[in-house]
């Protein structure tokens, strides 16, 4: 199993902390999911909001006993993302950072140029960068060259729930970097999407909206946790390849011919 900057995760599910109906629901969803990583926003921590913000929010997260992955959500330039990351390191006391540099306001597609610029600076500054990106192999290589040991290609636009939009691109990206930990991040809407990603050989999935905005976030969180584990187990079991014709499952050798 590939590790995340030397850390082996107990669960392949990473879960966001935004948009839940209440702090209690968020906490219950995390516990039901078995998620190993919580993504948190610096803006949420310092500015307050629906979840209460500040120290109360941070105490809830610490009580979950999971790894914390701060993010630079909402940043539209490398400079803004770098500044946010440095502030997040002071607040959350970790070198991990989920790097988001958004390039398109409608699709929330990441800016490849700003992402690479920020990744180079942050890696040189001692950060362990988890860059949100498209399934672009050229960008992936540049990010790896910059020091990234984890890549986070999107499945579909953030919050869309569309699943894996470009299976070919994701599959070939996974094959091109066999030693790099990869997380399918964004666009997953159903537990089956998570299982699909894990069966393709990815190391984890990250989602938020599909759980937080479900009718029953706790039940959906549990479903995603089970699906991610099932997909990972299926991949390790070396599943059979698809066939173009039927093959009988019951042996015909020794069958009596009448």
- Residue 168 burial (10 A CB sphere; 0-12, 13-18, 19+): exposed
Is position 159 annotated in a ligand binding site?
yes
Give the DSSP letter string of the chain: ---BTTB--S-SEEEE-SS-S-HHHHHHHHHHHT-SEEEEEHHHHHH--TT--HHHHHHHHHHTT-EEEEE-TT--SHHHHHHHHHHHHHHH--SEEEE--B--TTT--B-HHHHHHHHHHHHHTT-EEEEEE-S-HHHHHHHHHTT-SEEEEBSSSTT-----S-HHHHHHHHHH-TTSEEEEES---SHHHHHHHHHTT-SEEEESHHHHTSSSHHHHHHHHHHHHHHHHHHHHT-PPPP-SS---SS--TTPPP-
Inter-CA distances, 123 with 2, 136, 162, Å: 20, 20, 32
Residues 43, 44, 89, 98: which is the catalytic one? 98
Is position 208 annotated in a ligand binding site?
yes
Active site residue 62: no
Is position 34 annotated in a ligand binding site?
no
Rounded to 10°, the helix 112-124/78-92 angle is 40
Is position 172 annotated in a ligand binding site?
no
Is position 200 annotated in a ligand binding site?
no
Show binding-site residues: 159, 186-187, 208-209
Show binding-site residues for 1-deoxy-D-xylulose 5-phosphate: 159, 186-187, 208-209
Q: Which residues are catalytic?
A: 98
């Amino acid at each position: 199993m590939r590790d995340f900057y030397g850390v082996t995760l107990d669960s392949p599910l990473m879960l966001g902390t935004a948009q839940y109906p209440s702090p209690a629901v968020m906490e219950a969803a995390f516990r039901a999911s078995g998620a190993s990583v919580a993504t948190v926003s610096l803006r949420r921590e310092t500015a307050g909001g629906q979840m209460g913000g500040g120290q109360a929010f941070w105490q809830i997260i610490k009580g979950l006993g999971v790894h914390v992955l701060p993010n630079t959500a909402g940043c539209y330039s490398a400079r803004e993302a770098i500044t946010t990351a440095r502030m997040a390191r002071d607040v959350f006391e970790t070198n991990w950072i989920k790097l988001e540099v958004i390039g398109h306001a409608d699709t929330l597609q990441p800016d490849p140029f700003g992402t690479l610029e920020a990744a180079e600076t942050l890696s040189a500054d001692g950060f362990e960068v988890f860059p949100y990106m498209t399934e672009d192999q050229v960008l992936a290589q540049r990010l790896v060259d910059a020091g990234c040991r984890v890549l986070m290609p999107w499945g579909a636009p953030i919050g869309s729930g569309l699943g894996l939009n470009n299976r070919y691109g994701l599959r070939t990206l996974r094959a091109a970097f066999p030693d790099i930990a990869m997380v399918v991040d964004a666009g997953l809407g159903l537990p089956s999407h998570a299982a699909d990603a894990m069966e393709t050989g990815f190391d984890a999935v990250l989602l938020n909206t599909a759980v937080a905005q479900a009718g029953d976030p706790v039940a959906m969180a549990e479903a995603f946790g089970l699906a991610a584990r099932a997909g990972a187990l299926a991949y390790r079991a070396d599943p059979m390849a698809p066939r173009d014709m039927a093959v009988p499952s019951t042996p015909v050798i020794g069958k009596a011919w009448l």
